[in-house]
Amino acid sequence: MKEILTIAMPKGRIFDEAVDLLREAGFKLPPEFEDSRKLIIDVEDEQFRFILAKPMDVPTYVEHGVADLGIAGKDVMLEEERDVYELLDLKISPCYLAVAGLPNTKMNDVAPKVASKYPNVAAAYFREQGEQVEIIKLNGSIELAPIIGLSDRIVDIVSTGKTLVENGLVEYERIADITSRLIVNPVSYRTKDERISEIVDKLTDVIHGVRS
């Protein structure tokens, strides 16, 4: 009898790709998996329990050990800096973090402002450049900020660039490339090492077989 592993999955953008990847790796997930509105889904055949969390919260569940494993974007890992193992680059949902703003504009000389869903990443980036900026934390629709004059720049993830174009914004600098990662709680990594290694091996095969 295998022990149950709890896996924290991010709802939204990454979820479908992550489920496809797990299926490709040979894990038997029920067909109605994606359509469920439940927050906890038990897959008895595999002895998995999935919890569906907000992407930004996945590392939190894993750090506290209520989830053994999780799938989280690198953007979230950079922002949250949780004490978890980042074991695998799953190479899904590629995008990047970038600085964007209205075209042909400069940062305000008196009080430069940057809006972002990633205040820590944004603050660290501008601090490293020696820029003194005020960081404004927003929870969504970041593109609004420069348009209505809340900030000069935004820091956000860009996947196709379409949203920026549609809102008349341009990209100024690229901060970091982002893909999704398999993360593991430090205690689970040691106490459930055999099952976790098995999952890592299966996923590694898929990632390398299909995508390299």
Partner 1 sequence: MSRLFMFEKPLGMRDTLPGLYETKSIARESIKSEMKCWGFQFIETPALEYYETVGTASAILDQQLFKLLDSQGHTLVLRPDMTAPIARVAASKLLKEDLPLRLAYSANVYRAQQREGGRPAEFEQIGVECIGDHTISADGEVISLLISSLREAGLPSFQISVGHIGFVQTLFQQILGTEERAQALTKFLYEKNYVGYREHVKKLSLSSIDKQRLLDFLKLRGGEEVLSFANDIIENESGREALSQLQQLWEIMVAFGEEDKMKFDLTLISHMSYYTGIVFEVYSHAVGTPIGNGGRYDLLLEKFGKATGATGFALYLDRLLEALGGLSEEAPTTCILFSDERRQEAYELAKEKRTSGEKVVLQDINGVKNIDACTSQYSDIVFLIGKAGRGS
Smallest separation, CB 50 to partner 1 (Å): 18
**Residue/partner pairs of 145-149 with CB below 8 Å, 24 or more apart:** 145/115, 146/100, 146/101, 146/102, 146/105, 146/115, 147/102
Which CB atom, from 167 or from 204, has the smaller least distance to partner 1? 204
Q: Is 4 in the site for partner 1 (CB under 8 A)?
A: no
Q: Is 66 in the site for partner 1 (CB under 8 A)?
A: yes
Which CB atom, from 73 or from 101, has the smaller least distance to partner 1? 73
Q: Is 65 in the site for partner 1 (CB under 8 A)?
A: yes
**Residue/partner pairs of 205-212 with CB below 8 Å, 24 or more apart:** 205/25, 206/21, 206/24, 206/25, 207/21, 207/88, 207/89, 207/90, 207/91, 210/24, 211/91
Q: Which stretch binds partner 1 (CB under 8 A): 15-23, 78-86, 109-117, 135-143?
A: 78-86
- Unique residue bearing structure tokens 């898929």: 206
- Interaction residues for partner 1, span 131-190 (CB under 8 A): 181, 185-187, 190
Which CB atom, from 28 or from 64, has the smaller least distance to partner 1? 64
Which CB atom, from 38 or from 190, has the smaller least distance to partner 1? 190
* Residue 1, both tokens: 């009898």
Q: How many helices (H) and strands (E) does the chain have?
A: 8, 11
Question: Which residues form the interface with partner 1 (CB under 8 A)?
Answer: 63-66, 83-89, 181, 185-187, 190-191, 193
